[in-house]
A and B are shown apart, each in its own frame.
Chain A
Amino acid sequence: MSGLADLKLGFIPLTDCAPLVVAKSLGFFAEEGLDVSLSREASWATIRDKVAVGALDGAHMLAPMALAAAAGASGGLTLDVGPSLIAPMALNRNGSAITVSKALAQAMRAADPEAIGEQPASAAALAKVIAQRSGQGAAPLTFAVVFPYSMHNYELRYWLAQAGIDPDKDVRLVVTPPPRMVEQMRAGEIDGFCVGAPWNAVAEREGLGEIVIAASAFWPGGPDKVFGVTQAWAHHYPDELRAALRALIRAAAWADDAAHREDLIALLARPEHVGVAPEALARALSDEIVFHRGGAGVPRREHALWFLSQMVRWGQVSAEVDLEAAADAVYRPDMFRAAALSAGPMLDPNQVFADAPGELAPLYAGPAFDSQRAGPYAAAFSIGRARV
């Protein structure tokens, strides 16, 4: 009817869906000749499956989710031999955080007042609380993450293990979708969680929890979500994909611009997008999440390899898997680059991908990550279950 290519893109209510919401609401997709409808989805598994079967053309995705199938993890129950996913663009860096309940924060402070004051906060105080509780025969503490294959799962596990807490033995880990974290903490079902913005700030604003460590303190500029499509879709619709990427890159740049912050917050606060109080959105947007600066949109091979190393570390993927091949099959910086370069005067290529985006910043503690040796890195931790 309109002559535009129709695309249906999925997202989960999180601050880092911003590039999709902005590209749609500000008409960037339309200017590229795309008639995009956004579909707010309730679970990551639904996003993955709908993209895989073509009910969605592309989506806001957990980066490790896109990688899981390629690495032979059961990243898709039904679809492990089905269409493979690719990530031609990263949607953001930083944005997640670990939050503990008020009661747990108090117990941590009482157990080790110094450790909880450290910057960045280690889990040493938590380790003491866990030891005390186990001495008293109390039930293990419960922590929630958003999906088994997520930055949030690996971030929380890493942080716990670094203080000597075995995430599979000393605590109970459960999976809860982002919008449900806060209600579960209120109900006392979980003692802590790792989730993306704005849900940590929402818990804090409601007086339920305290943020103990933000992603940028865990790993400055660490990766988070990607834009994912199937390999087959990218193959059949290369022009649409490039157009969508251009619109998303422009949207990411727009979202990063401090001059647009209030407009962005108002846009995301709408019920059909994230649907939370503007103040809760403001927090991570002011000094945490990066959408575009410093080549944030480039899906970096090193990031993929770090995620894969954590899958090996936690026994989700066999150590035999060729991690580099999996990373290269899914992460497609070449597509990002081609789209950015084709954008013409609307985007300054130098600014867009600041190509060669420097060295990775180190994670807050633990062995140094060497992307050339992701396998040995995965096995270098004292707590882990690398299957050899």
Chain B
Amino acid sequence: MRVLVIDPDPARAALVAEGLAGVHPLEVRRSARFDEREAAEFAPDVVVIAAESPDRDTLESLREASQANPRPVVMFVDRSEPGLAEQAVRAGVAAYVVDGLAPARVRPILDVAMSRFALTQQLRGDLAKVKADLEARKTVERAKGLLMKERGLDEDGAYRLLRKLAMDRGKPIGAVAADLLAFAGVLKGDAS
């Protein structure tokens, strides 16, 4: 079975290939972008594409041009399996299969792709959250420093003041700290 994975992220495509290791025969190729000529040359049985890829529209339109393209592609997800398309879209994967391949043979590929895509998405989300938390903590530290300097508070007092501001405004403490620093900058005249 020949599988073409369209994903700019090599790690994610590699996960798909790894997850399919048991399938024989198998050839998995990854491409950052969908290229019609390249795809025609490789002649994949299935195309797995990240749902966020702009190339989805191009791929989908090939069904339209069936006169020009002798091998129309269609999304394989079978109507008889309710919920599968929904799961796939939520997991960030869309799959297309070259006309004529039985959906049953493609199911394991989509299962693998879905779980791997969901996993990397979660990892990426976690990383973004950690980064944001760290950034917020740095901002709070800087705002505390500013309050200690300008208002003569100790560290605990500065934190309590920030927390009160946050509660009064119904905003996260990081956002209040960021506002405070921005306004301090304006007062010092260093805003553009």
Residues of A within 8 A of B (CB): 2, 41-46, 49-50, 52-55, 74, 77-82, 146-148, 168, 172-177, 179-180, 316
Contacts and interface: CB of A to CB of B under 8 A. Distances in A.
Contact of A49 (B58, B67, B84, B94): B94
Max chain B C-beta neighbours (<10 A), residue from A44, A78, A176? A78
Nearest to B96: A77
Contacts of A50: 51, 89
24 contacts: A2-B170, A41-B52, A42-B54, A42-B56, A43-B54, A43-B55, A45-B57, A45-B60, A49-B51, A49-B85, A49-B89, A49-B94, A53-B90, A55-B90, A74-B63, A77-B77, A78-B79, A79-B85, A148-B60, A174-B58, A174-B61, A175-B57, A177-B55, A316-B64
B48 to A, nearest CB: 14
A81 B85 contact: no
B75 to A, nearest CB: 3
Given A55-B89, A55-B90, A174-B61, A78 B75 contact: yes
B51 A148 contact: no
Contacts, number: 79
Given A78-B88, A177-B58, 6 more contacts: A2-B170, A42-B54, A44-B57, A54-B86, A174-B61, A177-B55
Nearest to B62: A175
Given A53-B86, A82-B85, A179 B54 contact: yes
Contacts of A316: 64
Nearest 4 interchain pairs by C-beta: A77-B75, A78-B85, A175-B61, A177-B54
B89 A175 contact: no
Nearest to A46: B51
A80 B63 CA distance: 14
Interface string B27-63: 0000000001000000000000001111111101101
Contacts of A82: 85
A180 B61 contact: no
Given A78-B77, A175-B58, A43 B90 contact: no
Nearest to A178: B54
Interface residues of B, number: 29
A316 B90 CA distance: 28
A53 B54 contact: no
A53 B85 contact: yes
Given A43-B53, A77-B74, A177-B54, A147 B90 contact: no
Contacts of A41: 52
A146 B57 contact: yes
User: What DSSP secondary structure best describes chain B's contact surface?
Assistant: mixed
Task: Specify which of B36, B58, B94 lies most central, judged by the most chain A CB atoms within 10 Å of its CB.
Answer: B58
A128 B181 CA distance: 64
B65 interface: yes
A187 to B, nearest CB: 12
Nearest to B84: A78
Contacts of A44: 57
A177 B86 CA distance: 23
A336 B37 CA distance: 45
B58 A42 contact: no
Contacts of A78: 75, 77, 79, 84-85, 88-89
Residue of B64, B65, B94 with most partner-chain A CB within 10 A: B64
A248 to B, nearest CB: 25
Contacts of B61: 147-148, 174-175
Contacts of B74: 77
Nearest to B36: A174
Contacts of A146: 57
A348 B54 CA distance: 40
B43 to A, nearest CB: 20
Given A82-B85, A175-B58, A316-B64, A42 B53 contact: yes
Contacts of B96: 77
Nearest to B64: A148
A284 B78 CA distance: 43
A81 B55 CA distance: 24
